[in-house]
Structure 1
Amino acid sequence: MKLKIATIALGLLGTSITLSQAQIKLNSKTIGSATKAVQAVTLSNDDVIAYTKEYITWMDENNPVAPADNELAQRLTKLTSGLTNYDGQTLNFKVYLVRDVNAFACADGSVRVCAGLMEVMSDNEVLGVIGHEIGHVKNMDSRDAFKTALLTSALKDGVSSQGGTAATLSDSQLGELGEQVANMSFSRKQESVADDYGYKFLKDNNVNPWYMSMAFERLQELSGGASDGGAAKKLFSSHPDTGKRVTEMAKKAEKDGFTKPTE
């Protein structure tokens, strides 16, 4: 099974190997009426977080979330033990039982890891990916990307803050919003900063930061070198060259006195 909707493919795994889209069902949920997009600039950070929580709730309801007794869920729980409060952020983690080689993080601290990623990466490589995604949250990249999507997607149909409370999104708007977010990307600078955050994240958790380089290397192998050419090149077009990221993280680890793991 693939992800129900185009994911919030943020950062490292904007290079998702099997990113997919699906048709969204409509329902009778309604939004507050007629406010126009011109008023969207009044959205507060709290509003953006409220919409983000609504979106991730929708994602969790429309994708197969691994139950607590699932092997991958237990593996992720073990990996993220002690990380529900990290660097001033409140985080929550779940596994989606889909084949996408992907992961994403939202501005409310929700981190979602796809089974396809966990099946091709070691525990420490997965942890490096998670660190990178948390970096996008910490640096406000996730919030800003989501806010931009709100301004250019659902908000144009009249979603806004009303009386200090964010309006409720309909299923159709959530679908449109999801596609809008999935088609966005971070700048190369944002990606590089998140790479450094992921590197530090590993060090902070007593994990050899070489695994940051090895996670990129794994993606490059899976893509068949798409960052250098080939049909999948577009998956890498808005991100720093994957090979260069492998090298940069490796040099950083060597400079800090770490030895590349043999596993």
Structure 2
Amino acid sequence: MKIKSFLAIALLVILNISKANAQINLGEKALGALQNGVASFTFSNEDAAKLSKEAVRKMDSTNVVAGPKDGYTLRLNRIFGKHASENGLALNYKVYLTKEVNAFATADGSVRVYSGLMDIMDDNQLLAVIGHEIGHVANEDTKDAMKATLRKAALIDAISSQSDKVAKLTDSQLGQIGNAMLDSKHSRKQESEADTYSYDFMKKHGYDVNAVESAFNLLASQSGGASADFLSRMMSSHPDPKDRAETAKQRAIADGLYKAYVQKPINNKVVVTKTTTKKTTTKKKKK
């Protein structure tokens, strides 16, 4: 199984882009600024949200999105729908039908969960993962990640907000952003803070906080094979999942909430309840 760990990327933009000439309005400075070598760059949360919204819209069009009646969608609605306005954020969420194990949230509040992740995690574990990703949005890590990505892709000046002119990024340039995002990383401090956010999220809503430890341990157990190179790159700047699991465990112990976590049954299928109609017979009274 190919695994792109959700822990390394809070603002993941994977764009399988065609060679169409479509353009998306994303910034406020002409692309000519790239050649002019303008060094100054301001990038607000609003800028990050605008770029994220367009990028996710493009990604939604190039991925297989679970329909409203799909079992994966129904399950995500059931466990996460009530948190669409978490911490004052306007969150929208969808499921990508793919075997990849991944989930991400972006600066505009888009949450995307891969069916491959839903296949291996129960409801509480998924909530712990999503809580972690929301933490990156709430802590503005997604803005910082996008800014670093634009710098790496040499597109900062094209999206600078210091002019009234509207810049248009081509599909090719969006492809540059997508490739750069594959290697984007958060700092150890940002990851630790997102872990804390996840634990607090679980505790606040009365979920089993031990699912945080369990989710990290599960990801650690899935880290072999094709994902080895990716995870080794991630670990160069991020805490090991086992260490993060231990941190969550120690906090649960300190809170008096620790107990060995037992994974619940996983069901991503549509459950059809069959109803039977009982025939009633009326007995005639004997005269």
* Same fold? TM cut 0.5: yes
Q: Is the 8 A contact 2:121 2:215 kept in 1?
A: yes
How far residue 168 of structure 1 moved from its aligned partner, in angstroms, is 3.1
How far residue 203 of structure 1 moved from its aligned partner, in angstroms, is 1.0
2:49: which partner in 1? 49
2:17: which partner in 1? 24
Q: Is the 8 A contact 1:39 1:160 kept in 2?
A: no
Q: Which runs of 5+ in 1 are unaligned?
A: none
1:191: which partner in 2? 191
2:94: which partner in 1? 94
Q: Give a deviation string over 1:163-217, Cα, whole Å, max 9, x none.
A: 5475332211111101112211011111111101000111122101100000001
In the alignment, the residues of structure 2 paired with residue 154 and residue 55 of structure 1 have an alpha-carbon distance, to the nearest angstrom, of 17
1:233: which partner in 2? 232
How far residue 91 of structure 1 moved from its aligned partner, in angstroms, is 0.8
User: Alignment partner of 2:111: what SS?
Assistant: strand
User: Alignment partner of 1:87: what SS?
Assistant: helix
Listed as ranges, the matches of 1:152-171 within 5 Å are 152-153=152-153, 155=155, 158-161=158-161, 163-164=163-164, 167-171=167-171
What TM-score, normalized by structure 1, do the two folds share? 0.84
Kindly provide the amino acid, as one letter, of the partner of residue 249 in structure 2: A
2:32: which partner in 1? 34
1:78: which partner in 2? 78
Q: Is the 8 A contact 2:8 2:185 kept in 1?
A: no
How far residue 2 of structure 1 moved from its aligned partner, in angstroms, is 7.9
Q: Give a deviation string over 1:105-136, Cα, whole Å, max 9, x none.
A: 10111111111111011111011000000000
In the alignment, the residues of structure 2 paired with residue 240 and residue 225 of structure 1 have an alpha-carbon distance, to the nearest angstrom, of 20
User: Alignment partner of 1:251: what SS?
Assistant: helix
In the alignment, the residues of structure 1 paired with residue 54 and residue 15 of structure 2 have an alpha-carbon distance, to the nearest angstrom, of 19
Higher helix share: 1
In the alignment, the residues of structure 1 paired with residue 77 and residue 143 of structure 2 have an alpha-carbon distance, to the nearest angstrom, of 25
Aligned residue pairs, count:
254
Cα distance change, pair 48–237 in 1 and its aligned pair in 2 (3 A): same
- Comparing both chains, which one has the higher relative contact order based on Cα–Cα distances under 8 Å and sequence gaps of 6 or more? 2
2:151: which partner in 1? 151
Larger radius of gyration: 2
123-132 vs 170-179, which moves further: 170-179
User: Alignment partner of 1:82: what SS?
Assistant: helix
Q: Give a deviation string over 1:29-60, Cα, whole Å, max 9, x none.
A: 34754222526604443222211111111111
In the alignment, the residues of structure 1 paired with residue 206 and residue 226 of structure 2 have an alpha-carbon distance, to the nearest angstrom, of 32
Q: Which runs of 5+ in 2 are unaligned?
A: 264-287
Kindly provide the amino acid, as one letter, of the partner of residue 197 in structure 2: Y
1:137: which partner in 2? 137
Kindly provide the amino acid, as one letter, of the partner of residue 198 in structure 1: S
Among the aligned pairs, what percent are the same residue? 41
Indicate the RMSD between aligned Cα atoms, in angstroms.
3.2
